[in-house]
Amino acid sequence: MDLGISGRTAVICASSKGLGRGCAEALAQAGCIVVINGRNAAVLEATASEIRASTGATVIPVAADVSTRAGQDALLAAAPQPDILVNNNGGPPPKPFREVSREALLEGVVQNMATPLELVQRVIDGMVARNFGRIVNITSASVVTPLTGLDVSSAARAGLTAFLAGVAREVAGSGVTINNILPGVFDTDRIKSSVGKMAEMQNITVEEATKRRLASVPAGRLGTPDEFGKLCAFLASAHAGYITGQNFLIDGGAFRGTF
């Protein structure tokens, strides 16, 4: 399917690896100019080279911390008028809620709520003026179903979701959509680290923690960044203009809900 976004410019935060990279690759395959981002310059450059080689797309790497003003400035200097923004950022590590300090709570809110909101504020008026924009936020399945130890991440991402629910309706008539993708367990460094922390919290082996996590997934496997990226690319496409303010759960059926 031609997604109708060839030549569009996409900014994908935290995209040197994992789910962000999956989104960058899918958007590059769709013909977008992609601005990728990460804090490790060497890893970022390697990713940029690999995406260029596999897709032929223009890939602009920006090594920066998107949670800082300087990092956001660097991203938008590379793409002053993005058509597509994919918000993504690492979440806090699992921790028992009784051990969450005020500082850790505030840091989680900065990383997973304030940062994406700041970027939305900076790009959305340009999208409205051009009568086209796609904003996709990578949040978490923990927004709709509790995951032990991820309380700070869940709260911050749920706050982002609630904040943008009204914004999505405000700009929908201008050709700008805002949607969220809620990943379950995917084959990324993040899940490996998370499972390791869970194992430590529960005093079990990593193998046992992994087995327990997968036991809750009817699909019986981890998701892949590639299939995640394909969903992101569709939501960023010309065909998704009538979809806005929605949460797309992609978790292999782990969430046991009918609606």
Residue 82, CA distances (Å) to 71, 133, 140 in order? 16, 8, 24
CB within 8 A of 258, min separation 6: which ones? none
* DSSP-H helix ranges across 145-252: 151-171, 189-202, 206-215, 225-235
Each residue's pLDDT, cut to its tens digit, for the chain (259 residues) gives: 999 999 999 999 999 999 999 999 999 999 999 999 999 999 999 999 999 999 999 999 999 999 999 999 999 999 999 999 999 998 888 888 999 999 999 999 999 999 999 999 999 999 999 999 999 999 999 999 988 888 999 999 999 999 999 999 999 999 999 999 999 999 888 777 777 777 777 888 878 877 888 888 999 999 999 999 999 999 999 999 999 999 999 999 999 988 8
Query: How far, in Å, CA of 60 to CA of 10, rounded?
Result: 10
| Fold observed for domain 9-184+224-249 | Rossmann fold (3.40.50)
> How far is the CA of 111 from the CAs of 22, 73, 194, in angstroms?
20, 16, 17
Give the pLDDT confidence score for residue 171 in this predicted structure: 98
Q: What is the pTM of this model?
A: 0.93
Domain ranges in the chain are 9-184+224-249, 186-222
What is the distance between the alpha carbons of residues 242 and 259, in angstroms, rounded to a whole number?
A: 20
Measured between alpha carbons, how far is 34 from 98 in angstroms, rounded to an integer? 41
**182 strand-pairing partners:** 249
E strands, the chain, are 9-12, 33-38, 59-63, 84-87, 133-138, 176-183, 247-250
Q: Give the gyration radius of the chain's Cα atoms.
A: 18
Which of 189, 188, 167 has its CA nearest to residue 176?
Answer: 167
pLDDT at residue number 161: 98
- pLDDT (0 to 100) of residue 191: 73
How many distinct helices (H) and strands (E) make up the chain?
9, 7
Strand, coil or helix: 178? strand
CA distances to 54, 60, 235, 241 from 4, rounded to whole Å, are: 20, 21, 12, 11
What is the pLDDT, as a whole number, of residue 61?
98
Do 126 and 9 touch, CB atoms closer than 8 A?
no
